[in-house]
Structure 1
Amino acid sequence: MSAAATLAGPWRGLSRAVWILVVARAVNRIGAFTLPFLGVVLVVEFGASLGEAGLILAVFGAATVPSRLLGGQLADRLGRRRTIVLGLTSCAVAQAWIALSSTLWSVVLATVLLGLAFEIYEPPSQATIADVTEPADRPAAYGLLGAAMAAAGVLAGLLAAAVSHWDLRWLFVADAITCLACAVLVAVALPADVRRDGGQTPPVAVWRDRRLLLLLAGGTVFATIYMQVIIGLPLTLLEQGLPESGTGFILAVSAASLILAQRFLRVQSLDDFRSIAIGYGLLAAGLVVTAFAQNMTVFLLATVLWSVGELFLLTRYLTQASGLAPGHGRGRYLAVFGLSWGIATTVAPLTVTQLLQYAGPEGLWLSSAAAAVTLAVLQPWFRRRLAPAGP
């Protein structure tokens, strides 16, 4: 067996379209480190209070909800490739606007536009992977996407740490450039969309699928915890008097931990529910350590724990959601499931800023850890409820 085949491991035999999409998203990921810094930019560059920053980020999160639904509709009707290109290009415009803003009102409008564009490309990206893989191969395919995003995240974190020493607005310039590069790669290399006759798609009763709605509920809690980490860590470092560049190093360590964990842990051998339970346990441990961290060394130790937990969690939710969907409605199913991220991005800025203000870092991270432990304990119940109906 060749060295390349050995390195590929469980990813051998995946479709060319999967690899193209993974490479494109990795290019985008190299510059996609702006969201953790957006709250800091609002406070440091534009003079917003902590409460105002939380409200603006919540508005951004609310705007991602229609963005995700629009992405799902366009993915099934307009086509996967066209929708991905549209979403990425729109994100680039919004990022550039933020970088060029000179007033708080301007950056608020740009942030709303970014929210409206932010999730458009996610449903078609996830649906494309499901379209070209068999159900048994989807954990590996989504795992490949996660590994590539993590590898790019190492560069993203280091780049963020370097650029943040100059002017935080350059982070948004870099993200706009990588969004455009990703859009070009998708437009040139991904197979052309196949339109249905008359552009019509069969109706799908997405909101009547109780299993999907239950999965959406569990995924929303997970996404909220995840977004609290993304938004809350930079603000926690600020509260502890640690440098802004520390966020970049945390992102790099998180990505490196994901890569190493993918290489050495046999995550694919676990079923979805057992993997999710383990993931929540590791996530909770990392959040407890974060609650009492006061220096970068301890923060980085916590990062390793919650990052490995993320490996056990994220791809499993995508695998479950795509498995519930009929082929012609996969974009819409994944869009509805993806609302968990829009809800989380709306709620997390408010919970983070309020808990930091009134309960401190300990209150924020210990309450998040408690939610993670609760979800770990509930996984046998989820297994029974999400089981397919008998004949």
Structure 2
Amino acid sequence: MSRLEPLPLTVRLLLLARVVNQLGAFSLPFLTALICTDHGASLTTAGLVTAVFGLTTIPSRLAGGGLADRIGPRTTIVLGLCGCAVAQLAIAASPSLTCAVAGAVVLGLAFELHEPPSQAIIGESVPEPQRVRAFSLFSAALAAGAMGGGLLAALLGRWDLRWLFVTDAATCLACALLIRSALPHDRPAPPGARQDDSAVRPLRDRRLLNVLATGTAYALINQQTVMTLPLALARQGLPAADAGLLFTATAATTVLAQPLIRLPWTSRLTTPVALALAHLLLAAGLVGYALSGTLPALLASAVVWSLGDLLVMGRVYALVTDLAPPGGSGRYLAVFGTGWGIAATLAPLLGTQLLARAGTTTLWSTMAALCLALATLHLRVTPRSPGPGTVAKAVRHRVSDPA
């Protein structure tokens, strides 16, 4: 079957590089904890700083899509990863709260540059029937790196939170080197061959805006399980570094449960139904967080949450790619990705305030209720993935395998 054919070499090399990057991509959830413990900031101040970081990721994501079209995806990915490394080293070495905030701003501006070109390479190099599988494997590759990363976070976090940012910077540089060495050179389109910008208008596509709205709400919930989780654990009397173990359980589930994507009944689900089912699983996992008071119970809840997350990631990115007109997948993915920036801005503000005023049970119960609302909404507003005969095909193999 075509969906079981090997992925293009370019995509496989990209997945390998991102695994290396993800081995260290565990520092961000501990940014608020670092600001509180090392710089004496209040919980509210820490939430504001993290919100500023989230706000700066919005122009970063849009710039990533634009730069990929102008200077090429490989160069854009390398630029973003190097910028992240510089910012993380600055945060690790910051002698004051002001310097840490400046580092967080620079990190936000670089943080999302590499995502649109990475996703566009996958979307444009893989045939439409294989896109859900390809994006699910991309999520699994990130999770595979996160498994080791979560264990490192649990170890280094007990020693010194600053070393989390140093390690993250090192893996960003290693990933940039792999991308620079292994991926084919960027090939600018010849004059006259480039897609007319007037034909690619993501913000005028109502279908994309519907997906962006529900995707932003999902990202807001997702970010609570990343940014706010260490603080929530501390409120429950558990070490904040135990969040690394929960991240590892989440990542392991994402990797080991990949065969679920290929089951016949899963493949037959329409995108709205699959996303509704995913959000029911997310709600169940969050209810578990709300009711759990021990690490084993929290780990079990993380597994349930991860099964829902697995169903979301492959489906939603394949859907956005399918909705894009020829040559427009990078910009469609960039616009869709701004939802993560919005969520990263609002999540720490909402999460820290709920924790401070109502506690962990209310935080996770509120997020579970939002998941239930999204499950219903997906059945009403989420478009089905356009079929091969109804969607304008994205330009494929713009970044072709080396001969």
Could you tell me the TM-score, scaled by structure 2's length?
A: 0.91
Unaligned runs of at least 5 residues, structure 1:
1-8
Change in CA separation of 1:46 and 1:348 when aligned onto 2, cut-off 3 Å: same
Give the match for residue 270 of structure 1: 269
Q: Give 1:77 shift.
A: 1.7
Tell me, in whole angstroms, the C-alpha distance in 2 between the residues paired with 1:271 and 1:142: 17
Tell me, in whole angstroms, the C-alpha distance in 2 between the residues paired with 1:160 and 1:377: 36
Give the match for residue 380 of structure 2: 381
Tell me the percent identity. Answer: 47
8 Å contact kept, 1:76–1:201: no
8 Å contact kept, 2:323–2:386: no
8 Å contact kept, 2:284–2:304: yes
Residues 1-391 of structure 1: matches in 2 within 5 Å? 12-198=5-191, 201-203=195-197, 204-263=200-259, 266=263, 267-383=266-382
Amino acid at match of 1:212: L
8 Å contact kept, 1:94–1:114: yes
SS at match of 2:328: helix
Amino acid at match of 1:306: W
Tell me, in whole angstroms, the C-alpha distance in 2 between the residues paired with 1:75 and 1:83: 6
Q: CA RMSD in A?
A: 2.0
Change in CA separation of 1:130 and 1:290 when aligned onto 2, cut-off 3 Å: same
Q: Give 1:271 shift.
A: 3.0
Could you tell me the TM-score, scaled by structure 1's length?
A: 0.94
Give the match for residue 3 of structure 1: none
Change in CA separation of 1:182 and 1:390 when aligned onto 2, cut-off 3 Å: closer
Amino acid at match of 1:351: L
Tell me, in whole angstroms, the C-alpha distance in 1 between the residues paired with 2:382 and 2:109: 34
Amino acid at match of 1:233: L
Tell me, in whole angstroms, the C-alpha distance in 1 between the residues paired with 2:172 and 2:94: 19
Change in CA separation of 1:384 and 1:22 when aligned onto 2, cut-off 3 Å: closer
Change in CA separation of 1:11 and 1:158 when aligned onto 2, cut-off 3 Å: farther
Deviation digits for residues 82-125 of structure 1 (CA, Å, limit 9, x no counterpart) = 11111111001101111111111000000000000000000000
Amino acid at match of 1:229: T
Deviation digits for residues 311-365 of structure 1 (CA, Å, limit 9, x no counterpart) = 0111211011111112322111110000110000001011001111112111111
Q: Give 1:274 shift.
A: 2.1
8 Å contact kept, 2:214–2:378: no
Tell me, in whole angstroms, the C-alpha distance in 2 between the residues paired with 1:13 and 1:157: 29
Q: Give 1:264 shift.
A: 5.0
SS at match of 1:163: helix
Unaligned runs of at least 5 residues, structure 2:
392-403
The farther-off stretch of 100-109 and 260-269 is 260-269
Give the match for residue 4 of structure 1: none
Q: How many residues align?
A: 384
Tell me, in whole angstroms, the C-alpha distance in 1 between the residues paired with 2:20 and 2:270: 31
Tell me, in whole angstroms, the C-alpha distance in 2 between the residues paired with 1:323 and 1:313: 15
Q: Give 1:71 shift.
A: 0.3
Q: Give 1:383 shift.
A: 4.2
Q: Give 1:11 shift.
A: 5.0
